[in-house]
Amino acid sequence: MQDDLARCKAAVTACFETVFAPLGSLPVEEGMRYALNGGKRLRAFLVMEGAALYGVSAKTSVWAAASIEALHAYSLVHDDLPCMDDDDLRRGQPTVHKRWDEATAVLVGDALQTLSFDLLTRPEFDVSSGVRVELMRTLAQSSGVQGMVLGQALDIAAETAATPLDLAEITLLQNKKTGALIEWSACAGPRMAEADTAPLAAYAKALGLAFQIQDDILDVEGDVTKTGKAVGKDADAGKATFVSLLGLDAAKARAQDLVDEACAALSPFGTRAEPLRDVARFVISRET
């Protein structure tokens, strides 16, 4: 599992090195490189492994993998800002606004967001024009007000709501804030192959929710030296989470059920989908 993730990470890193080679050393350019450092590259892995199931080469799929990692990095840079979650640490290093300043962090996030769409237009990304448009259309939906941004807005609203969110409301919030980009990642492969996205969409919906439950668990049990970010913030803020609503043991059990559901959704692919099953199991065993 770790070797597979490492290979994906190396491929995406090489892609970014090619893209950033012509750029200079202004704070916004350095900030983009900085924001893309580290991370598990889970979303990139889902893109490339999902694509491999449909015979799409890694040479092609890496561009979509880099695209989602740029989009994800933008979301983290903006989410860490004082006006949002106000975090000082990300991936074990100072957040972008701490390393530089808030204005630079805003611009870094803006530039990474637009880069994600630019990567899908690169000539090296060997897909049809129709596939490019579909990938960009669905990425815009998944990251915008129908997806991640909606989830972030719901999260902010919940902080000042008169009553805490219930389980259904938290599930909706996290399906948007975290799950939408995970689902796009898993479905990018069949979209590149112009195939049915339903099996990988079902896999990703369960995986995305399991991922968020594990994040909630880590906020309670995690070690900042391993997570690379602050822990205990949700409890300190009095936020409703899967753990606060279900209890720690029930949250862990729910995450395991979701992983089982994700693995079952891959049955049409047989053993060829074992790397995707492995990553689902990894999601609820991770410490970062």
pLDDT at 236: 62
CATH number at residue 98: 1.10.600.10
What are the CA-CA distances from residue 34 to residues 28, 144, 230 (Å)? 10, 24, 19
pLDDT at 232: 62
Instruction: List the one residue out of 284, 130, 159 whose CA is nearest residue 214.
Output: 284
**Residue 56 counted as domain residue:** yes
pLDDT at 240: 86
Q: Are the beta carbons of 203 and 276 closer than 8 angstroms?
A: yes
**pTM, two decimal places:** 0.94
| pLDDT above 70 coverage of the chain, percent | 95
The total number of structural domains that make up the chain: 1
**Residue 147 counted as domain residue:** yes
pLDDT at 286: 86
Q: Distance (Å, rounded) from C-alpha 61 to C-alpha 256?
A: 29
pLDDT at 201: 98
**Residue 61 counted as domain residue:** yes
Average of per-residue pLDDT across 33-37: 96
Average of per-residue pLDDT across 251-264: 97
Digit-coded pLDDT (tens) for 214-257? 999 998 887 777 666 666 666 666 678 999 999 999 999 999 99
Average of per-residue pLDDT across 284-288: 85
Is the CA virtual torsion 256, 259, 264, 270 positive or negative?
A: negative
**Residue 226 counted as domain residue:** yes
**Residue 20 counted as domain residue:** yes
Q: What is the span of the domain harbouring residue 239?
A: 2-283
Instruction: List the one residue out of 103, 113, 92, 85 whose CA is nearest residue 28.
Output: 103
**Residue 288 counted as domain residue:** no
When the pLDDT of each residue in the chain is averaged and rounded to a whole number, the result is 94
